[in-house]
Amino acid sequence: MSRRVVILGAGPAGLAAAQAAIAHGADVTVLDEGERPGGQFWRHHDALTDPRMQHQWPRFERLRGALDRAEVHAQASVWHVETDGGLRMHALVGPADAAGRTALTVEADALVLATGAHDRALPVPGWTLPGVITAGAAQALAKRDGVAPGRRTVVAGAGPFLLPVAASIGLAGGSVAEVVEAVGVGAIARGWGRSPWRLAGAAGKAGELTEYLGDLIRHRTPYRFGSAVTRIHGVGTVEGATIQRVDADWRPIPGTERVVECDSVALGHGFTPRLEAAIQAGCAISPDRFVEVDGRQATSVPGVFAAGEVTGIAGADAALAEGAVAGFLAAGGELGDPRLRRVVDARRRMHAFAERLATHAIRSGWTAWLDDDTIVCRCESVTRARIAEYADASSRGVRLATRAGLGACQGRTCGRSVEALVAASVDYDQRPVLSSIRIGELAGLHHTPDRIKHQEQE
Protein backbone atom coordinates (compact mmCIF):
# COMPACT_ATOMS: atom_id res chain seq x y z
CA MET A 1 0.00 0.00 0.00
CA SER A 2 1.48 3.36 -1.00
CA ARG A 3 2.09 6.07 1.55
CA ARG A 4 -0.17 9.10 1.59
CA VAL A 5 1.87 12.30 1.47
CA VAL A 6 0.36 15.76 1.85
CA ILE A 7 2.36 18.79 0.71
CA LEU A 8 1.51 22.31 1.87
CA GLY A 9 2.66 24.78 -0.76
CA ALA A 10 3.22 24.55 -4.52
CA GLY A 11 6.29 26.73 -4.92
CA PRO A 12 9.66 25.28 -5.97
CA ALA A 13 10.09 23.22 -2.76
CA GLY A 14 6.53 21.88 -2.79
CA LEU A 15 6.59 21.01 -6.49
CA ALA A 16 9.93 19.23 -6.18
CA ALA A 17 8.62 17.34 -3.15
CA ALA A 18 5.52 16.29 -5.06
CA GLN A 19 7.50 15.06 -8.03
CA ALA A 20 9.89 13.06 -5.83
CA ALA A 21 7.12 11.53 -3.73
CA ILE A 22 5.12 10.56 -6.82
CA ALA A 23 8.21 9.00 -8.40
CA HIS A 24 8.62 6.90 -5.27
CA GLY A 25 5.07 5.61 -5.53
CA ALA A 26 3.30 7.78 -2.98
CA ASP A 27 -0.31 8.91 -3.12
CA VAL A 28 0.23 12.70 -3.13
CA THR A 29 -2.11 15.55 -2.24
CA VAL A 30 -0.98 19.16 -2.76
CA LEU A 31 -2.70 22.04 -0.96
CA ASP A 32 -1.84 25.56 -2.13
CA GLU A 33 -3.50 28.87 -1.44
CA GLY A 34 -2.60 30.30 -4.84
CA GLU A 35 -4.74 30.19 -7.97
CA ARG A 36 -2.12 28.18 -9.82
CA PRO A 37 1.12 26.35 -8.87
CA GLY A 38 4.49 28.05 -8.93
CA GLY A 39 4.67 30.05 -5.71
CA GLN A 40 6.33 33.45 -5.75
CA PHE A 41 9.27 32.29 -7.89
CA TRP A 42 7.11 31.02 -10.77
CA ARG A 43 4.13 33.32 -10.22
CA HIS A 44 2.48 33.74 -13.60
CA HIS A 45 -0.60 34.37 -15.68
CA ASP A 46 -0.88 32.45 -18.94
CA ALA A 47 -1.81 35.57 -20.92
CA LEU A 48 -0.34 38.50 -18.99
CA THR A 49 3.11 37.37 -17.84
CA ASP A 50 6.13 38.47 -19.87
CA PRO A 51 8.20 35.25 -20.24
CA ARG A 52 11.41 37.28 -19.84
CA MET A 53 10.58 37.60 -16.14
CA GLN A 54 10.82 33.85 -15.58
CA HIS A 55 13.86 31.68 -14.89
CA GLN A 56 14.06 27.90 -15.22
CA TRP A 57 10.62 27.83 -16.85
CA PRO A 58 11.16 24.44 -18.57
CA ARG A 59 11.87 22.95 -15.17
CA PHE A 60 8.65 24.41 -13.82
CA GLU A 61 6.71 22.88 -16.69
CA ARG A 62 8.18 19.46 -15.92
CA LEU A 63 7.30 19.77 -12.25
CA ARG A 64 3.81 21.02 -13.06
CA GLY A 65 3.36 18.08 -15.39
CA ALA A 66 4.08 15.69 -12.53
CA LEU A 67 1.03 17.06 -10.71
CA ASP A 68 -1.15 15.21 -13.21
CA ARG A 69 -0.60 12.20 -10.97
CA ALA A 70 -1.44 14.05 -7.75
CA GLU A 71 -4.59 15.36 -6.06
CA VAL A 72 -4.19 19.15 -6.28
CA HIS A 73 -6.34 21.68 -4.45
CA ALA A 74 -5.64 25.29 -5.48
CA GLN A 75 -7.05 28.22 -3.47
CA ALA A 76 -6.93 25.97 -0.43
CA SER A 77 -6.72 27.87 2.87
CA VAL A 78 -5.32 25.45 5.45
CA TRP A 79 -6.65 26.66 8.78
CA HIS A 80 -5.63 23.84 11.11
CA VAL A 81 -2.94 21.14 11.24
CA GLU A 82 -3.24 18.19 13.62
CA THR A 83 -0.30 15.98 14.50
CA ASP A 84 -1.57 14.18 17.62
CA GLY A 85 -2.91 10.71 16.84
CA GLY A 86 -2.16 11.04 13.13
CA LEU A 87 -1.64 13.78 10.59
CA ARG A 88 -4.75 15.69 9.55
CA MET A 89 -4.94 18.92 7.55
CA HIS A 90 -8.14 20.98 7.58
CA ALA A 91 -8.75 23.43 4.73
CA LEU A 92 -11.40 25.51 3.03
CA VAL A 93 -11.20 25.41 -0.76
CA GLY A 94 -12.38 28.26 -2.96
CA PRO A 95 -11.72 31.96 -3.58
CA ALA A 96 -10.79 33.64 -0.28
CA ASP A 97 -13.43 36.34 -0.73
CA ALA A 98 -16.21 33.94 -1.74
CA ALA A 99 -18.92 32.44 0.42
CA GLY A 100 -19.60 28.75 0.53
CA ARG A 101 -16.07 27.46 0.36
CA THR A 102 -15.75 23.67 0.44
CA ALA A 103 -14.46 22.12 3.64
CA LEU A 104 -11.75 19.52 3.21
CA THR A 105 -9.86 17.34 5.66
CA VAL A 106 -6.95 15.26 4.43
CA GLU A 107 -5.27 12.52 6.44
CA ALA A 108 -1.74 11.47 5.64
CA ASP A 109 1.17 9.26 6.63
CA ALA A 110 3.61 12.12 6.04
CA LEU A 111 3.44 15.88 5.68
CA VAL A 112 5.86 18.16 3.82
CA LEU A 113 5.74 21.79 4.90
CA ALA A 114 6.76 24.01 1.99
CA THR A 115 4.99 27.17 3.05
CA GLY A 116 7.78 29.51 1.94
CA ALA A 117 8.36 33.06 3.13
CA HIS A 118 7.00 36.50 2.56
CA ASP A 119 9.06 39.61 2.04
CA ARG A 120 9.72 41.99 4.86
CA ALA A 121 9.44 45.76 4.57
CA LEU A 122 10.73 47.98 7.36
CA PRO A 123 8.47 50.87 8.36
CA VAL A 124 9.49 54.36 7.32
CA PRO A 125 7.72 57.72 7.75
CA GLY A 126 5.22 58.01 4.92
CA TRP A 127 5.06 54.33 4.06
CA THR A 128 1.29 54.23 4.48
CA LEU A 129 0.80 56.50 1.45
CA PRO A 130 -0.86 54.93 -1.60
CA GLY A 131 1.93 54.02 -3.99
CA VAL A 132 4.14 52.32 -1.40
CA ILE A 133 4.34 48.58 -1.95
CA THR A 134 6.55 45.71 -0.87
CA ALA A 135 9.19 44.56 -3.33
CA GLY A 136 7.56 41.14 -3.51
CA ALA A 137 4.18 42.65 -4.26
CA ALA A 138 5.73 44.81 -6.99
CA GLN A 139 7.17 41.73 -8.64
CA ALA A 140 3.89 39.84 -8.22
CA LEU A 141 2.04 42.68 -9.93
CA ALA A 142 4.46 42.58 -12.81
CA LYS A 143 4.48 38.79 -13.17
CA ARG A 144 0.83 38.02 -12.57
CA ASP A 145 -0.89 41.13 -13.91
CA GLY A 146 1.66 42.65 -16.26
CA VAL A 147 1.53 46.08 -14.63
CA ALA A 148 4.08 48.23 -12.79
CA PRO A 149 3.33 49.82 -9.39
CA GLY A 150 3.81 53.31 -10.85
CA ARG A 151 5.35 55.27 -13.66
CA ARG A 152 8.56 55.99 -11.73
CA THR A 153 9.51 53.73 -8.81
CA VAL A 154 12.27 53.78 -6.22
CA VAL A 155 13.26 50.20 -5.30
CA ALA A 156 14.84 50.18 -1.84
CA GLY A 157 15.88 47.71 0.84
CA ALA A 158 18.59 45.10 1.05
CA GLY A 159 19.64 41.99 -0.79
CA PRO A 160 19.91 40.68 -4.34
CA PHE A 161 16.13 40.36 -4.64
CA LEU A 162 16.04 44.09 -5.44
CA LEU A 163 17.57 43.29 -8.84
CA PRO A 164 14.82 41.05 -10.29
CA VAL A 165 12.22 43.40 -8.82
CA ALA A 166 13.72 46.34 -10.71
CA ALA A 167 13.95 44.28 -13.89
CA SER A 168 10.32 43.15 -13.58
CA ILE A 169 9.09 46.72 -13.14
CA GLY A 170 10.93 47.72 -16.30
CA LEU A 171 9.50 44.82 -18.30
CA ALA A 172 6.00 45.73 -17.08
CA GLY A 173 6.34 49.21 -18.54
CA GLY A 174 7.46 51.24 -15.53
CA SER A 175 10.74 53.00 -14.94
CA VAL A 176 13.02 52.63 -11.92
CA ALA A 177 14.34 55.92 -10.58
CA GLU A 178 17.00 54.29 -8.38
CA VAL A 179 17.82 51.00 -6.70
CA VAL A 180 18.83 51.68 -3.09
CA GLU A 181 20.80 49.02 -1.16
CA ALA A 182 21.34 49.62 2.57
CA VAL A 183 24.51 47.54 2.80
CA GLY A 184 27.71 49.35 1.85
CA VAL A 185 30.09 48.30 -0.92
CA GLY A 186 32.81 47.26 1.54
CA ALA A 187 30.51 44.98 3.53
CA ILE A 188 29.20 43.41 0.33
CA ALA A 189 32.73 42.80 -0.96
CA ARG A 190 33.73 41.18 2.32
CA GLY A 191 30.57 39.11 2.57
CA TRP A 192 30.46 37.80 -0.97
CA GLY A 193 34.21 37.77 -1.58
CA ARG A 194 35.27 35.33 1.14
CA SER A 195 36.05 31.77 0.02
CA PRO A 196 34.96 32.48 -3.57
CA TRP A 197 35.62 28.89 -4.63
CA ARG A 198 32.60 27.83 -2.58
CA LEU A 199 30.43 29.78 -5.01
CA ALA A 200 31.54 27.69 -7.99
CA GLY A 201 28.52 25.42 -7.58
CA ALA A 202 26.20 28.38 -8.01
CA ALA A 203 27.58 29.53 -11.36
CA GLY A 204 24.07 29.91 -12.73
CA LYS A 205 23.51 32.78 -10.32
CA ALA A 206 26.37 34.69 -11.96
CA GLY A 207 24.48 34.56 -15.24
CA GLU A 208 21.37 35.98 -13.63
CA LEU A 209 23.43 38.71 -11.95
CA THR A 210 25.01 39.67 -15.27
CA GLU A 211 21.58 39.84 -16.87
CA TYR A 212 20.19 42.13 -14.17
CA LEU A 213 23.22 44.42 -14.11
CA GLY A 214 23.09 44.71 -17.89
CA ASP A 215 19.48 45.76 -17.62
CA LEU A 216 20.36 48.51 -15.12
CA ILE A 217 23.16 49.76 -17.34
CA ARG A 218 20.94 49.87 -20.44
CA HIS A 219 18.37 51.94 -18.60
CA ARG A 220 21.04 54.03 -16.83
CA THR A 221 19.43 53.21 -13.48
CA PRO A 222 21.54 54.36 -10.50
CA TYR A 223 22.37 51.67 -7.90
CA ARG A 224 23.12 53.26 -4.53
CA PHE A 225 24.97 51.28 -1.88
CA GLY A 226 25.00 52.14 1.81
CA SER A 227 21.78 54.15 1.48
CA ALA A 228 18.15 53.87 2.48
CA VAL A 229 14.79 55.50 1.91
CA THR A 230 14.28 57.27 5.25
CA ARG A 231 11.12 59.23 4.44
CA ILE A 232 8.40 59.08 1.80
CA HIS A 233 6.62 62.29 0.79
CA GLY A 234 3.25 63.11 -0.70
CA VAL A 235 -0.27 64.34 -0.14
CA GLY A 236 -2.74 61.58 -0.87
CA THR A 237 -0.17 59.58 -2.82
CA VAL A 238 3.59 59.22 -3.22
CA GLU A 239 5.32 62.24 -4.72
CA GLY A 240 8.93 61.62 -3.69
CA ALA A 241 11.31 59.83 -1.34
CA THR A 242 14.23 60.96 0.79
CA ILE A 243 17.26 58.82 0.12
CA GLN A 244 19.99 59.08 2.73
CA ARG A 245 23.35 57.51 3.37
CA VAL A 246 23.40 55.10 6.33
CA ASP A 247 26.27 53.81 8.43
CA ALA A 248 27.22 50.15 8.90
CA ASP A 249 24.34 49.70 11.38
CA TRP A 250 21.88 51.48 9.02
CA ARG A 251 21.67 54.66 11.14
CA PRO A 252 21.00 57.65 8.83
CA ILE A 253 24.00 59.96 8.35
CA PRO A 254 22.88 63.61 8.86
CA GLY A 255 23.45 65.95 5.94
CA THR A 256 23.31 63.28 3.23
CA GLU A 257 19.59 63.57 2.51
CA ARG A 258 18.30 64.16 -1.00
CA VAL A 259 14.77 63.91 -2.38
CA VAL A 260 14.06 61.86 -5.49
CA GLU A 261 10.85 62.45 -7.41
CA CYS A 262 8.77 59.30 -7.84
CA ASP A 263 5.16 58.10 -7.69
CA SER A 264 5.81 54.72 -6.07
CA VAL A 265 8.28 53.07 -3.71
CA ALA A 266 8.95 49.33 -3.50
CA LEU A 267 10.44 48.28 -0.15
CA GLY A 268 12.14 44.93 0.43
CA HIS A 269 14.42 44.21 3.38
CA GLY A 270 14.72 40.45 3.03
CA PHE A 271 12.30 37.66 3.85
CA THR A 272 10.70 36.09 6.88
CA PRO A 273 9.53 32.45 6.88
CA ARG A 274 5.88 31.52 7.18
CA LEU A 275 6.08 29.51 10.38
CA GLU A 276 2.43 29.37 11.45
CA ALA A 277 1.69 25.84 10.19
CA ALA A 278 5.01 24.48 11.46
CA ILE A 279 4.47 25.97 14.92
CA GLN A 280 0.94 24.61 15.10
CA ALA A 281 2.26 21.19 14.05
CA GLY A 282 4.66 21.34 16.99
CA CYS A 283 7.90 21.58 15.00
CA ALA A 284 10.99 22.90 16.78
CA ILE A 285 11.95 26.41 15.68
CA SER A 286 15.58 27.58 15.71
CA PRO A 287 16.69 30.72 17.59
CA ASP A 288 16.93 32.54 14.25
CA ARG A 289 13.30 31.57 13.55
CA PHE A 290 13.41 28.79 10.99
CA VAL A 291 12.02 25.25 11.13
CA GLU A 292 14.74 22.93 12.41
CA VAL A 293 15.41 19.97 10.09
CA ASP A 294 18.02 17.24 9.90
CA GLY A 295 19.79 15.95 6.80
CA ARG A 296 16.58 14.14 5.83
CA GLN A 297 14.62 17.42 5.94
CA ALA A 298 12.75 15.82 8.84
CA THR A 299 11.44 18.12 11.57
CA SER A 300 11.22 17.30 15.28
CA VAL A 301 7.70 15.89 14.73
CA PRO A 302 7.55 12.31 13.41
CA GLY A 303 6.24 12.17 9.87
CA VAL A 304 6.58 15.92 9.28
CA PHE A 305 9.20 17.20 6.85
CA ALA A 306 10.02 20.76 5.81
CA ALA A 307 11.76 22.28 2.79
CA GLY A 308 12.43 25.62 1.18
CA GLU A 309 12.44 29.09 2.69
CA VAL A 310 10.69 27.91 5.84
CA THR A 311 13.96 26.17 6.81
CA GLY A 312 16.27 29.02 5.75
CA ILE A 313 16.35 31.75 3.12
CA ALA A 314 18.45 30.17 0.39
CA GLY A 315 16.71 30.79 -2.95
CA ALA A 316 14.81 28.67 -5.45
CA ASP A 317 17.61 26.25 -6.31
CA ALA A 318 18.11 25.26 -2.68
CA ALA A 319 14.35 24.94 -2.25
CA LEU A 320 14.16 22.61 -5.25
CA ALA A 321 16.88 20.36 -3.85
CA GLU A 322 15.44 20.36 -0.32
CA GLY A 323 11.98 19.63 -1.67
CA ALA A 324 13.21 16.66 -3.67
CA VAL A 325 14.88 15.20 -0.58
CA ALA A 326 11.84 15.84 1.62
CA GLY A 327 9.36 14.36 -0.86
CA PHE A 328 11.45 11.26 -1.51
CA LEU A 329 11.89 10.50 2.20
CA ALA A 330 8.28 11.36 3.05
CA ALA A 331 7.31 8.71 0.53
CA GLY A 332 9.39 6.15 2.39
CA GLY A 333 12.74 6.54 0.65
CA GLU A 334 16.16 6.53 2.27
CA LEU A 335 18.71 9.35 2.29
CA GLY A 336 21.45 6.98 1.09
CA ASP A 337 19.52 6.04 -2.06
CA PRO A 338 21.76 6.67 -5.11
CA ARG A 339 18.85 8.45 -6.84
CA LEU A 340 19.22 11.28 -4.33
CA ARG A 341 22.94 11.80 -4.83
CA ARG A 342 22.64 14.71 -7.29
CA VAL A 343 20.03 16.64 -5.33
CA VAL A 344 21.93 16.19 -2.07
CA ASP A 345 25.04 17.59 -3.77
CA ALA A 346 22.97 20.47 -5.18
CA ARG A 347 21.57 21.19 -1.74
CA ARG A 348 25.07 21.43 -0.27
CA ARG A 349 26.27 23.77 -3.04
CA MET A 350 23.28 26.10 -2.74
CA HIS A 351 23.56 26.25 1.04
CA ALA A 352 27.12 27.53 0.58
CA PHE A 353 25.71 30.23 -1.71
CA ALA A 354 22.96 31.09 0.75
CA GLU A 355 25.45 31.76 3.55
CA ARG A 356 26.38 34.95 1.65
CA LEU A 357 22.85 36.28 1.92
CA ALA A 358 23.54 37.04 5.59
CA THR A 359 25.61 39.94 4.25
CA HIS A 360 22.29 41.75 3.72
CA ALA A 361 20.77 40.97 7.12
CA ILE A 362 18.82 43.81 8.73
CA ARG A 363 20.91 45.99 11.08
CA SER A 364 19.51 47.45 14.26
CA GLY A 365 20.10 51.12 13.33
CA TRP A 366 17.01 51.24 11.08
CA THR A 367 14.86 52.30 14.03
CA ALA A 368 16.68 55.66 13.96
CA TRP A 369 14.80 56.70 10.82
CA LEU A 370 11.42 56.41 12.57
CA ASP A 371 9.55 59.33 14.09
CA ASP A 372 7.44 58.84 17.21
CA ASP A 373 4.30 59.13 15.07
CA THR A 374 5.49 56.73 12.37
CA ILE A 375 2.88 54.00 11.95
CA VAL A 376 4.41 50.57 12.48
CA CYS A 377 1.26 48.40 12.46
CA ARG A 378 -0.58 49.52 9.34
CA CYS A 379 -3.75 47.50 9.98
CA GLU A 380 -4.43 49.13 13.37
CA SER A 381 -2.53 52.43 12.82
CA VAL A 382 -0.26 51.83 15.81
CA THR A 383 2.65 54.26 16.08
CA ARG A 384 6.18 53.72 17.23
CA ALA A 385 5.52 55.85 20.33
CA ARG A 386 2.52 53.71 21.29
CA ILE A 387 4.60 50.53 21.01
CA ALA A 388 7.47 52.07 22.99
CA GLU A 389 5.00 52.95 25.76
CA TYR A 390 4.37 49.24 26.36
CA ALA A 391 7.82 47.90 25.53
CA ASP A 392 8.24 46.45 29.02
CA ALA A 393 4.88 44.67 29.04
CA SER A 394 4.37 40.97 28.37
CA SER A 395 3.88 39.84 24.78
CA ARG A 396 0.15 39.54 25.45
CA GLY A 397 0.17 42.96 27.09
CA VAL A 398 1.88 44.59 24.10
CA ARG A 399 -0.69 43.15 21.71
CA LEU A 400 -3.78 43.89 23.76
CA ALA A 401 -2.75 47.38 24.90
CA THR A 402 -1.51 48.63 21.53
CA ARG A 403 -3.48 46.33 19.17
CA ALA A 404 -0.30 45.96 17.10
CA GLY A 405 -0.60 42.76 15.08
CA LEU A 406 -4.29 42.25 15.79
CA GLY A 407 -5.54 43.55 12.43
CA ALA A 408 -6.21 41.86 9.13
CA CYS A 409 -2.65 40.65 8.53
CA GLN A 410 -2.32 39.29 12.10
CA GLY A 411 1.22 40.60 12.45
CA ARG A 412 2.57 39.23 9.17
CA THR A 413 3.62 42.74 8.06
CA CYS A 414 4.52 44.42 11.35
CA GLY A 415 5.30 41.51 13.68
CA ARG A 416 9.07 41.34 13.27
CA SER A 417 9.35 45.15 13.41
CA VAL A 418 7.33 45.28 16.63
CA GLU A 419 9.59 42.62 18.11
CA ALA A 420 12.65 44.68 17.16
CA LEU A 421 11.21 47.78 18.82
CA VAL A 422 10.35 46.01 22.10
CA ALA A 423 13.48 43.80 21.93
CA ALA A 424 11.45 40.67 22.70
CA SER A 425 9.39 37.99 21.00
CA VAL A 426 5.67 38.80 20.73
CA ASP A 427 4.74 35.34 19.35
CA TYR A 428 2.85 36.58 16.30
CA ASP A 429 3.48 33.26 14.55
CA GLN A 430 1.42 31.28 17.06
CA ARG A 431 -2.15 31.19 15.81
CA PRO A 432 -5.03 28.87 16.76
CA VAL A 433 -6.47 29.44 13.28
CA LEU A 434 -3.90 29.60 10.49
CA SER A 435 -5.82 31.52 7.84
CA SER A 436 -8.76 33.87 7.64
CA ILE A 437 -12.01 32.01 8.13
CA ARG A 438 -15.48 33.48 8.57
CA ILE A 439 -17.35 32.86 11.79
CA GLY A 440 -20.16 31.43 9.69
CA GLU A 441 -17.79 29.00 8.00
CA LEU A 442 -16.40 27.89 11.35
CA ALA A 443 -19.89 27.51 12.80
CA GLY A 444 -20.92 25.54 9.73
CA LEU A 445 -18.09 23.10 10.31
CA HIS A 446 -19.22 22.64 13.92
CA HIS A 447 -22.89 22.06 13.14
CA THR A 448 -22.42 19.93 10.04
CA PRO A 449 -19.43 17.68 10.73
CA ASP A 450 -20.39 15.45 7.82
CA ARG A 451 -19.06 18.17 5.48
CA ILE A 452 -15.59 17.29 6.67
CA LYS A 453 -14.60 14.05 5.12
CA HIS A 454 -11.50 12.35 4.08
CA GLN A 455 -11.25 12.85 0.35
CA GLU A 456 -11.02 9.10 -0.21
CA GLN A 457 -14.40 8.69 1.44
CA GLU A 458 -16.17 11.23 -0.79
- Looking at residue 200, its pLDDT comes to 59
**pLDDT higher than threshold 60 for residue 452:** no
204 domain-assigned: yes
CA 41 remoteness from chain centre: 10
Q: What are phi and psi of 228, to 5 degrees?
A: -150, 155
- In sign, the C-alpha dihedral spanning 327, 332, 333, 334 is positive
For residues 197 and 218, membership in a common domain is answered with: yes
Is the pLDDT reported for residue 159 higher than 70?
yes
Q: Residues 143, 251: one domain?
A: yes
Is there a single domain that holds both residue 130 and residue 107? no
Decide if 75 contacts 33 (C-beta within 8 A): yes
- Tens of pLDDT along 32-79? 999 899 988 888 888 888 888 888 899 999 999 999 999 999 999 999
Asked whether 391 and 421 are in contact (CB, 8 A), the reply is yes
pLDDT in tens, 216-236: 888 899 999 999 999 999 999
- Domain of 302? 4-116+274-335
User: What pLDDT, on a 0 to 100 scale, did the predictor assign at position 203?
Assistant: 63
> Residue 297 belongs to a domain with what CATH number?
3.50.50.60
Let me know if residue 14 belongs to a domain. yes
Residues 14 and 102 in one domain: yes
* pLDDT over 70 percentage in the chain: 95
The pLDDT mean for the chain works out to: 91
Asked whether residue 88 carries a pLDDT value surpassing 80, the answer given is yes
For range 120-134, the mean pLDDT: 97
Has residue 316 been placed in a domain?
Answer: yes
pLDDT tens sequence across 236-253: 999 999 999 999 999 999
| Number of domains present in the structure of the chain | 3
Residues 245 and 307 in one domain: no
> Which residues contact residue 60 at a Cβ distance below 8 angstroms, ignoring those fewer than 6 apart?
15, 38, 42, 54
Which of 268, 287, 309 is where one domain is finished? 268
* Candidate from 70-84, 355-369, 418-432 with smallest mean pLDDT: 418-432
Using the Cα atoms of residue 233, residue 237, residue 238 and residue 239 in order, give the sign of their dihedral.
negative
Integer angstrom CA distances of residue 238 from 123, 221, 241: 15, 20, 8
Give the pLDDT score at 161. 93
Q: Give the pLDDT band (50/70/90) at residue 374.
A: very high
pLDDT digit string, tens, across residues 191-218: 887 766 666 566 667 777 888 888 888 8
Decide which of 225, 245, 268 is a domain's last residue: 268
Residue 431 confidence (pLDDT): 84
72 and 158 housed in the same domain: no
Whether residue 353 lies inside any domain: the answer is no
The one-letter amino acid code at 51 reads: P
8 and 37 within one domain: yes
> Domain end: 335, 352, 387, which one?
335
Give domain status of residue 350, yes or no: no
Predicted model pTM? 0.90
Residue 136 φ/ψ, nearest 5 degrees: -65, -40
Q: Are both 127 and 262 inside the same structural domain?
A: yes
